[in-house]
Amino acid sequence: MQEEVEVDVDEKLAEFDVSSNVRKLTGKLAMVIAIIAIAMSLFHLYTAGFGILLAMKQRAVHLMFVLVLGFLLYPASKRFDKTKIQFFDWILAAAGIMVTAYIIMMFDQLVLRMGRPTDLDMLMGVITILLVLEVTRRSIGPQLPIIAVIFLIYTYVGPYIPGMLGHRGYSVQRIVNQMYMTTEGIFGTPLGVSATFVFMFILFGSFLEITGVGQFFIDIAFAGAGTRKGGPAKAAVIASGFMGSISGSSIANTVTTGAFTIPLMKKVGYQPTFAGAVEAAASTGGQILPPIMGAAAFIMSEFTGIPYIQIVISAVVPALLYYLGVITMVHLQASKKGLEGMKKEDLPDFKKVLKDGFHLFIPLIAVVFLLVRFSPLRAAYWSIVIALVVSMFRKHTRVNISKILYALQDGAKKAIGVAAACACAGIIVGVVTLTGLGLTFANLIVGLAGGMLLPTLFLTMLASIILGLGLPTTAKYIVLATMAVPALLVLDVPLLAAHLFVLYFGVIADVTPPVALAAYAGAGIAGGDSFKTGVSALKLASAGFLIPYIFAMSPELLLIDVTFFEAALAIITACLGVVAFGAAVQGYLLTTTRFYERIMFLAAALLLIHPDKLIDLGGFVILVVVVALQVVRNREGKATVQES
């Protein structure tokens, strides 16, 4: 049974997640790939522990491994035999070594002639751009490369574009110089973060996996919540939240965790569409849940200059509110349908699970404490060391050399898609830097919104969802931070709030039809209708549409420059608002809502999320009144049942 589930997981991942569509190599070919992947991980471990190279060289070595592994692991098309590596892929891998080795070996000369590239420099630059576009297409899909190509064309044809989007235009030589020979293009900040923090935390996740932390999260969630009303769904939310924070992919988390949770949800009476939606909404939320946040937090720290640990602290409350919204929806759905939990004898024993695996929490706790004192790079390095040491505490979690080698391979392979996306997104960032498109786009949004905050937030939300469709978390954040954030900064939205705002809506795109990839993956596991699952997932995640507005207008929720009383009040009213919103969406709290009660719940939710205290008071009063109406009708209903 276990083996059958794993095969299904692999098939579903390949179907919905391009990054899982890798070759299945054996023999000497598999050995070659393993050696390259292990070498990549050892390089990053060494530089993290003993000092990184100069920025351009560190990024070039990182990109070299990515290009080689990317072309050897990912076929150009699904029609090619996945058990072989085509001859042209060896050529592309060799070209990847050539263009990155050129940067490393000719570094001093390139610095001296910066801005005045030779014909050879130009050739290497053009080849690098093409290789990055192709490896990104193979590893994460065509969306981001298409956007990058459009941006490159925009850079050249600027003089021919009418209106405010037009610009003076740049020559091919200037474009290639920007993309290849500076740290403001392919080798820019996104790839720099991938070559340091992001890779190390992906590797940290792989080392956690070999200790059995994934199964531990699932067991602890089901042992703790499985017997409660709608238990499997609540357990799925908790387990997927844990796993999603370190997995870095909404789709992968939906499929891997959903293979266990979705059948159990269906067993207690949830419809396939709802079961798939629960898993998708919960897995997607992992991308905004500290401490890892789909690796976007590391890039956010570099873009904003805000310490990583401060971003993590600020992101905690909004993330928990998101999960409160999902749990509320799940509970109310279970109450409305009369769905009970699982039998205790069918679930893991909570005390035994905790006793056998409590030590697996230590690396996760350690990484938070290490982030307070050290850089994310050093924190990730020592967290890996701690994870290995801690695994030795118990026999069933102890790792051997073969498992360590597997983790080194796995981490490198998982990093390919993220790193390729960062390199490709660097092209977009380079174009924006060169042309000033970010400020132009910001002025366009603010102008359409008439200079008012709420309409600007709404248009930025739409832009974030559209730009985030189909892209991995890191890539969508980089694009959004470059294009959409400036619009919010113009209207004095705090820097961190603006960046988290676009990240939230970029992530929610994974459960927003028509391109709700995480929801469609959940539907594939559950056997439900894809579009209906997407709609259900959107309803479950709908609290996520309110939360960014809360912290954009009320930064107290991000714990920025607030007193304890202000923070507590903001959190309490936001929690009440999220619960009221859940009741409005589900049409149920203590009993089925009437139409006017639903309107009252929605009004209470909208008023409670507003930062003004008097408006909060009005929302609280409405909530008390409608809850009182529900209490009375619920008692009357019970009395009628008893009399009959």
With cut-offs at 50, 70 and 90, classify the pLDDT of residue 365.
confident
What is the structure's pLDDT at 583? 92
What is the structure's pLDDT at 6? 43
Whether this model's pTM surpasses 0.95: no
How far, in Å, are 63, 129, 171, 381 from residue 41 at the CA level?
13, 24, 38, 11
| H helices present in 51-118, as ranges | 55-73, 87-105, 107-112
Tokens 């796995």 -> residue:
410
What is the structure's pLDDT at 225? 79
Tokens of 469: 């469709």
What is the structure's pLDDT at 250? 77
With cut-offs at 50, 70 and 90, classify the pLDDT of residue 437.
confident
Q: What is the mean pLDDT of residues 402-409?
A: 94
- Secondary structure of the chain: what % helix, strand, coil (to 5)? 80, 0, 20
Q: Are 271 and 528 in contact (CB under 8 A)?
A: yes
Tokens 């990847």 -> residue:
96
How buried is 71 (Cβ within 10 angstroms: 0-12 exposed, 13-18 middle, 19+ buried)?
A: buried
- Does 5 have pLDDT greater than 50? no
With cut-offs at 50, 70 and 90, classify the pLDDT of residue 40.
very high
Percent of all residues in the chain with a pLDDT value above 70, rounded to a whole number: 94
What is the structure's pLDDT at 103? 94
- Among residues 247, 322, 343, 370, the alpha carbon closest in space to that of 503 is found at 322
What is the structure's pLDDT at 402? 94
Backbone angles phi, psi at 514, to 5 degrees: -90, -5
With cut-offs at 50, 70 and 90, classify the pLDDT of residue 642.
low
Helix (H, G, I), strand (E, B) or coil at 588: strand
| 501 Cβ contact partners less than 8 Å away, ≥ 6 residues apart | 457, 460, 461, 464, 488, 493, 548, 551, 552
Q: Which residues pair with 588 in a beta bridge?
A: 592
| Chain segment 217-276, per-residue pLDDT in tens | 888 888 887 778 778 888 888 888 777 666 667 777 787 778 878 888 888 788 889 888
Tokens of 530: 């894809």
| Chain segment 278-325, per-residue pLDDT in tens | 888 888 888 888 877 767 788 888 889 898 888 888 988 898 899 999
First to last CA, the chain: 48
Give the residue, 249 or 154, on which the prediction is more confident: 154
Q: Which residues pair with 592 in a beta bridge?
A: 588
Backbone angles phi, psi at 554, to 5 degrees: -135, 80
| 108 Cβ contact partners less than 8 Å away, ≥ 6 residues apart | none
d(CA 588, CA 584): 7
Report DSSP state, residue 182: S
| Chain segment 539-577, per-residue pLDDT in tens | 888 888 888 988 888 788 888 878 888 888 888 888 999
Torsional class of 459: left (φ above 0), alpha (ψ -120 to 50), beta (otherwise): alpha
